[in-house]
Structure 1
Amino acid sequence: MDLEQRAASLRAMRDDTFDVLVVGGGVTGAGIALDAASRGLRTAIVEAQDWAAGTSSRSSRLVHGGLRYLYQLDFKLVAEALKERGRLLSRIAPHLVEAQPFLWPLKTRVIERAYSAVGVGLYDALALAGSGFRKTVPVQRHLSHRGALRRFPDVDPKALVGAIEFYDARVDDARLVITLVRTAVHHGAEAVSRAKVTRILKDDSGAASGAEVVDLESGDSITVRAHRIINATGVWTERTQDLAEARGGLKVLASKGIHIVVPRERIRGDAGMFLRTEKSVLFIIPWQHYWVIGTTDTAWHEQLEHPVPTSADIDYVLDHANSVLSRPLTRDDIIGTYAGLRPLLQPTVLDETKSTKVSREHTVAEVVPGMVSIAGGKLTTYRVMAEDAVDFALGRRAAKQRPSVTADLPLLGAEGYVATRNRADALAGRYGFDHDRMEHLLARYGSELPELLAAIDERPDLGEPLAAAPQFLRAEVHRACTHEGALHLEDVLVSRVRLNSEARDRGESAVDEVAELCAQALGWDAERLGLEKANYLRRVAAERAAEEQPTDEAASAARLAGEPVA
């Protein structure tokens, strides 16, 4: 995805009539676009911000079955999620999704170990059954007190008597979404970010027939004609439904979850940690260069575009993490923070006379004839949600004639991934990359890695690390603009080269170099270059100010002070 593709998609949206128009470019909308396009449906998808700019770039970055739901006896939900986890690990996105061990710390020697073992054992059994009894992650193993300390040396010895080690998986959530959109485009979809739906159009019978869309980059308005519209806008669900002036649809509330990021070397541990709290769960998750720790679960009543953690949120996460760590974390250890909004689906639809399809995790409902909304669910089950949404929009007969094919459809970078990984040593030697660099690149690009290396062959300067963030190559910034749909500096630093949440200065020290690379790829003049840098620095200052505030209201106001200048 680049500027040429975006322009071509805008022309197609203006000139063509689509079978499906998807509104919303998070993981659900991106999954729907891929599902529809891969069925052979003429598909368009628009997103008002950057791809994954909402909840789908602000999650715990996990692909998991939801172990805690077993203790609520929600076996069907867990089984479905574990089946999807297995598909992602083995077929759909093995380059993006990686198996991750976790320790469940035990406080008592016999009773807790016994019932926890049964629960985790059932978790493993459901995972095996969902994958056709092909093991995609190792099964549980029990650790003594000494064994737990060996796996996680920085755990407080008094915090446990032993542990159960079990597996889930982790994923760069924003990269998954961007790859879904790119794969949808590969299969014929038209995709445009920074394009806002301002009105749902109807025909003489009152059925949805398209949408008015404003290209926020140019200010131009276009009419997109479509036989069916699928609203997948998460916490914006009701706002989008209101554009159709209808009584039907879904009711969604926003719940804030925050995370902190600390350097990898700050906590000694080879596995993650799973803790049950009085409100929810807390994950301590190791990544290659850092740990992600969260989350919270609190109602959010402020603006939806820029949720931010408060000082109290950060203290909450620190306190719960420190309850099991032998070397307590302080604010000085934090290199990044972020907050996202979960779209909490309410138990009833807005108009009970409209048709709906209800899952344990998500619901699809008719807004007006020709337009449906989907909400709820979680990242792990995006593919099931997408299939349900397209089936519902098509109707039973048409869905049977054009069934979903995504259960076994590899995303870009997945096909041939193992073969590319097998060449890792040879590629590393040719380009002078160490093992750490190759693991980083393989986990981001999979079998598309040779394309990135070809760009380095053409421009050797792209093979150099970023001066202020050497974990990333200059080529990764270039590719973000030429292949991954980045239009602004913040698009690169927030969702592609994720220094906004993974660097102590939120990428401030890398701004000049990254912006110059963006300018070269996107054709910015000096004025645009200066504006992009100034806007990103405004954002960073606002985010820093927000996380010092005591309340959501104050934090939201501080963050809004960093809105970009046109």
Structure 2
Amino acid sequence: MSPEHRPPHVPTSREVPILEGDGSALNAEQRTRALTELTSGEPLDLLVVGGGVTGAGIALDAASRGLRTGIVEMGDWASGTSSWSSKLVHGGLRYLYQLDFPLVHEALTERGRLLTTTAPHLVKPQPFLWPLKHHYERVYSAVGVGLYDALAVAGARGRCTVPLQKHLGRRGTQELAPALDTSQLVGAIRFHDARVDDARLVIDLVRSAVGLGAFAASRTQVTKYLTDGAGTVTGARVVDRETGREHDIRATRTINATGVWTEQTQNLAAHEGGLKVLASKGIHIVVPKEAIDAKTGIFLRTEKSVLFIIPWPRYWVIGTTDTPWQHNVSKPVATSADIDYILEHANAALSRPLTRDDIIGTYAGLRPLLQPQLKPGSDTASTKISREHTVTRVAPGLTAIAGGKLTTYRVMAQDAVDHALGDELATTRPSRTTTLPLVGANGYRELAGHAEELASTRGWPLTRVTHLLDRYGSETPALLAAADEHDASLAVGSRELAWGQPLTGAPDFLRAEVAWAVTHEGATHLDDVLLRRVRLDIERRDRGLSASDEILAIMAPLLGWDAADIDRERQAYAGRVAQIAAAEAEADDAAAVSHMSIAI
């Protein structure tokens, strides 16, 4: 029986519920168990290579179908493109002007699903102002935004998941965004999209997959694909990057979802055909909330694309650029020229220009822009091109997917698993992710309704409770219970060790959030916490380095670190901070990347 038609593992129940709490926790013990199952258990129905939003979505999709699923990632979860995006969940308003209605409709449908069902604790409606310089702009812009709204309502089966457009004159525009220079404006249109912490979304996807029985191992790199005598891929050889040990993982089907690393990883199995991926760099700057006086985000059209000024509770994210990247894909970094470009285009719309002194953070990421690369005379039926993402068979038993965007990760995942299973099995084992909530989503709205009560009980400001709910959703009580249990065990006078207290160096975060990152979110190194859990890297001028000793003191006992381990972690992160600072002083990519010995 060929791998494409071999029946998958059958679970005890076809109705697989989402599991929250310890059953979905990512930590050192879970990783050890997962590696044992991956390498010595029965063969997997599906192995996913790549732990960004696409790979994580595929793992959840497969696990929800009852498939015996494994996922490996060579770095930390979301450590590539998926943690350096614009952090938007959106339909892509600019695609309307390219008349790509199916793409926009699909993305807006997924936006509505994320807002209402999948991750309402993580994905939040976000209003934007579209400034208008001429009266005639209002007509065509209103038609475009009106169609945008109509497609969103259609995708949500008649429901409005975000408010509809509103037209404003110059005075209304200035009231909502005093920071805008309205002297040359006739008004604006307010429309809505949504924002999300991209890295946290990925982590919750992986945790949800684990809750459904998937085996997940970060810092586990594929070094070759295993094949049988007929050349069919039957799994992968991996190296545990924490120990250096090699392992073989057997799988009936494998999906390569490695983004800008696609060609490198697929070429381990085949040097012809497959997908050709071009990397495009996008950078963002971060400025403090007080730097821009506005109650809404701002959407600006540029000569090349668009620029978003996006509000978060403590800061603004401004971006992005779109330039070819021809260097090491593990080391994208912002240059001085990139930063100047963002400042120039933002300042063209602002009454008080931003300067470099306003910038508290920068980050850079790479988009995978793909082109099909088929073998001459190959069977094009084995390749499925769906709007902006492509799924193809690289070799028997090995599927590759690339392209797309964060908003449509679920559709991409469904397409990839369907393709790997083949039409017959995909029909009998359909995707179940359309109504599947992630960890933290079930019960979130009810809990959020009691936010003021929770704040009052603990003597906290409401902003602190809202911060926790918007990060952990319905798991917030479990996080607080873990903090209370830990603190109750402390000796009298050990307040400096209490998890229920804010970080001294970053009081917007509780110490418990650092502990939770280790015990439930798979953080195994200092940069995992600072870059992707407690994300001080993008909101502090020193990238969180001044808070590192306090964070290390929380992590060390949980991970069994000694003084040498702590010093090694501190020095590694300090080196990263220094290298990025040096790179950002350079004018071009080649000079900037020469400073980077540490992968981003």
- Specify if TM > 0.5: yes
Q: Deviations over 1:400-435 (max 9, x none)?
A: 010000010000000010111122112112222211
Provide the residue aligned with 1:114 in structure 2: 139
Provide the residue aligned with 2:76 in structure 1: 50
Q: 2:299 aligned with 1:274, yes or no?
A: yes
Q: 2:437 aligned with 1:400, yes or no?
A: no
Aligned mates of 1:468, 1:320 — CA distance in 2? 33
Q: 2:278 aligned with 1:253, yes or no?
A: yes
Aligned mates of 1:350, 1:487 — CA distance in 2? 41
Aligned mates of 2:376, 2:38 — CA distance in 1? 31
Provide the residue aligned with 2:5 in structure 1: none
Q: 2:544 aligns with which of 462, 483, 507?
A: 507
Aligned mates of 2:227, 2:171 — CA distance in 1? 67
160 and 559 in structure 1: CA distance in 2 versus 1, 3 angstrom threshold? farther
State the 1:358 CA deviation.
0.5
Provide the residue aligned with 1:530 in structure 2: 567
Provide the residue aligned with 1:390 in structure 2: 417
Q: Unaligned regions of 5+ residues in structure 2, if any?
A: 1-25, 488-497
Provide the residue aligned with 1:289 in structure 2: 314
Provide the residue aligned with 1:93 in structure 2: 119
State the 1:38 CA deviation.
0.6
8 Å contact 1:543–1:559 — kept in the other structure? Answer: yes
State the 1:349 CA deviation.
3.7
Among the aligned pairs, what percent are the same residue? 63
Provide the residue aligned with 2:15 in structure 1: none
Aligned mates of 1:317, 1:413 — CA distance in 2? 35
8 Å contact 1:247–1:351 — kept in the other structure? Answer: no
Aligned mates of 1:492, 1:514 — CA distance in 2? 8
Aligned mates of 1:198, 1:430 — CA distance in 2? 52
State the 1:159 CA deviation.
4.3
8 Å contact 1:478–1:517 — kept in the other structure? Answer: yes
Provide the residue aligned with 1:33 in structure 2: 59
Q: 1:326 aligns with which of 335, 351, 357?
A: 351
Equivalent residue letter for 1:210: G
Aligned mates of 1:320, 1:30 — CA distance in 2? 35
Q: Deviations over 1:430-484 (max 9, x none)?
A: 2222111111111100000011110121123111111111111100001000000
Q: Deviations over 1:61-90 (max 9, x none)?
A: 000000000000000000000000000000
**Correspondence list, 1:156-195, <5 A:** 156-195=181-220
Aligned mates of 1:135, 1:383 — CA distance in 2? 21
Equivalent residue letter for 1:22: V
State the 1:248 CA deviation.
2.3
Aligned mates of 2:281, 2:403 — CA distance in 1? 14
Query: What SS does the corresponding residue of 2:418 show, helix, strand or coil?
Result: helix
Provide the residue aligned with 2:7 in structure 1: none
Q: 2:245 aligned with 1:220, yes or no?
A: yes
Equivalent residue letter for 1:186: G
Query: What SS does the corresponding residue of 2:237 show, helix, strand or coil?
Result: strand
8 Å contact 1:159–1:323 — kept in the other structure? Answer: no
Aligned mates of 1:438, 1:161 — CA distance in 2? 40
Aligned mates of 2:374, 2:180 — CA distance in 1? 45
State the 1:502 CA deviation.
1.3
Aligned mates of 1:351, 1:152 — CA distance in 2? 56
Provide the residue aligned with 1:71 in structure 2: 97
CA RMSD of aligned residues (A): 1.1
Aligned mates of 1:161, 1:501 — CA distance in 2? 35
Query: What SS does the corresponding residue of 2:446 show, helix, strand or coil?
Result: helix
Provide the residue aligned with 1:209 in structure 2: 234
Aligned mates of 1:489, 1:352 — CA distance in 2? 50
Aligned mates of 1:556, 1:515 — CA distance in 2? 28
Q: 2:396 aligned with 1:359, yes or no?
A: no
Q: Deviations over 1:305-351 (max 9, x none)?
A: 12100000000000000000111000000000000000001155456
Q: 1:449 aligns with which of 462, 476, 493?
A: 476
TM-score, normalised to structure 2, is 0.93
State the 1:39 CA deviation.
0.3
Q: Deviations over 1:203-242 (max 9, x none)?
A: 1111100100000000010000000000000000000111
8 Å contact 1:246–1:368 — kept in the other structure? Answer: no
Q: 2:468 aligned with 1:431, yes or no?
A: no
TM-score, normalised to structure 1, is 0.98
Instruction: List 4+ stretches of structure 1 deviating above 3 A.
Output: 347-352
Q: Bigger CA drift: 267-276 or 452-461?
A: 452-461
8 Å contact 2:57–2:409 — kept in the other structure? Answer: yes
Query: What SS does the corresponding residue of 2:419 show, helix, strand or coil?
Result: helix
Query: What SS does the corresponding residue of 2:591 show, helix, strand or coil?
Result: helix
Q: Unaligned regions of 5+ residues in structure 1, if any?
A: none
State the 1:245 CA deviation.
3.0
Q: Deviations over 1:248-273 (max 9, x none)?
A: 21110000000000001111101101
Provide the residue aligned with 1:369 in structure 2: 396
Equivalent residue letter for 1:406: T
Count residues with an aligned counterpart.
Answer: 562
Equivalent residue letter for 2:121: H
Q: 2:381 aligned with 1:344, yes or no?
A: no
Query: What SS does the corresponding residue of 1:463 show, helix, strand or coil?
Result: coil
Q: 2:448 aligns with which of 399, 413, 421?
A: 421
Aligned mates of 1:87, 1:563 — CA distance in 2? 34
Query: What SS does the corresponding residue of 1:197 show, helix, strand or coil?
Result: strand
8 Å contact 1:456–1:463 — kept in the other structure? Answer: yes
Aligned mates of 1:245, 1:417 — CA distance in 2? 46
Q: Deviations over 1:487-537 (max 9, x none)?
A: 100000000000111111100110100111111221111111110111011
Q: Deviations over 1:39-75 (max 9, x none)?
A: 0000000000110000000000000000000000000
